Structure 1
Amino acid sequence: MRPARRTSPRILIFASLAVAMAMRILPLPQGWAPWNPDWILLLLVYWAVAAPDRVGVGTAWLTGLLADALTGRLLGQQALAYSLVIYVGIRFHRRFQIYSMVQQVLAVVLLLGLGLLLILWTRHIRGAASAPEGYWFAALSGGLVWPFVCAVLDGLRRRFGAA
């Protein structure tokens, strides 16, 4: 058996966020669009919990600015939401790591819901009426895919000896 190749943790983090950005803009059928989780925020939460020394509020802010440009939203809208959610995630990362998977799923739903609430708040300030139908489904679907995201990224971290 050959030894695992060491990869820079930053490369793995950058590559996973690039994949998340691609998944964020992936077109889905009309009925499925509300269920598309915010993949970028989901991966930022993972990295903030798994490697808080590598992914912080600054990384979340810059990634949010890229996501704003990518999705055509008001510049800074997702940057604000991402940075505040990641601040909370980093603040509680030690507790998060000892949670059972069910507790982690609930925490992720709350964190993603906080992100959606902050985006809704910024939309409201701009004059948008209310949340579209199915707006909160993205937080629920993000929680449902959390165990798979953890399994895949934990496996990649072990395989490449990163983080």
Structure 2
Amino acid sequence: MEANNRWFIAVTVVMALLLAVMPLPYNWLWFRPAFTALVVIFWITRMPENLGVGFAWLVGLLEDLVTGATLGTHALALAVLAYFSLLTYRRTRAFNPAQQLMWVFVLVGIEQVVGNWVHSLSGKPVPGLTFLWPALTSALLWPWLIPWLNGFAGRLQVR
């Protein structure tokens, strides 16, 4: 992997982390898309031979540090998401946009379930299914995010 590619991946991860802690009104907090999950899905399906579960775990650990979450919550959730992304990256490349939207909903939903499970182990469960709202907003954001990331990645010769 070229140095330019590493820098661009790092920049997208930092942007996702900044968006993950961007201040929002209290009523909107549950609707914040899972930006780091979207970036991990994109890069793992784009470069599965170079990035994997370790990359996702590291991004999740950074997200834990940035957001102040219990250490390992996002790391485990993104590692599970990366595992499923790696299992299915060949199929998801052939999906039409609607299928990709649904698959992103499922992947981010799995990430949210794992994160909520770890969060509930610390004694702070989330009532009902409100923890799945980020999966819906992330899936709805996916069609607008992909062309933008593909455009930049294409200029950097990221395969």
Q: TM-score, normalised by structure 2?
A: 0.93
Report the residue type matching 2:95 in the other structure.
Y
Distance 1:91 1:133, change over 3 A: closer
Do the aligned residues in 2 keep the contact of 1:20 with 1:43 (CA within 8 Å)?
Answer: yes
Deviates more, 1:30-39 or 1:17-26: 30-39
CA offset at residue 32 of structure 1?
A: 1.7
Where structure 2 has 5 or more consecutive residues not aligned to the other structure, the ranges are none
| Greater helix content | 2
Aligned-partner Cα distance in 2 for 1:7–1:102? 34
**Aligned residue in 1 for 2:67:** 71
Quick one: which of 12, 17, 26 aligns to 1:16? 12
CA 1:84–1:129: 2 relative to 1, 3 Å: closer
Q: Deviations over 1:29-87 (max 9, x none)?
A: 22221111110111001111111122210011111111101111111111011001101
- Following superposition, the deviation at residue 132 of structure 1 comes to 6.5
Structure possessing the higher relative contact order (Cα contacts under 8 Å, 6 or more residues apart) = 1
TM-superposed CA distance for 1:11, in Å, is 1.4
In structure 1, the residue matched to 2:108 is 112
For residue 8 of structure 1, report the CA deviation from its aligned partner.
Answer: 2.1
In structure 2, the residue matched to 1:139 is 135
Q: Distance in 1 between matches of 2:48 and 2:127?
A: 32
Counterpart among 16, 35, 41 of residue 45 in structure 1: 41
Q: Which runs of 5+ in 1 are unaligned?
A: 1-5
**Any idea what SS the aligned residue of 1:28 has?**
coil
Distance 1:133 1:92 in 2: 26
Change (3 A) 1:137 1:9: same
TM-score when scaled to structure 1? 0.91
Query: 2 CA distance for matches of 1:113 and 1:73?
Result: 18
- Once residues 98 and 140 of structure 1 are traced to their aligned partners in structure 2, the CA distance between those partners, rounded to angstroms, is 22
RMSD: 1.6
Alignment of 1:52-67 (within 5 A): 52-67=48-63
Q: Secondary structure at the match of 2:48?
A: coil
Seq. identity, %? 29
Which amino acid in 1 is paired with 2:53? Answer: V
Q: State how far apart, in whole Å, the 2-side matches of 1:135 and 1:49 are.
A: 25
The runs of at least 4 aligned residues of structure 1 exceeding 6 Å deviation read: none
| Distance in structure 1 (CA, Å) of the matches to 2:50 and 2:149 | 15
The amino acid across from 1:153 in the alignment is: L
**AA paired with 1:100?**
N
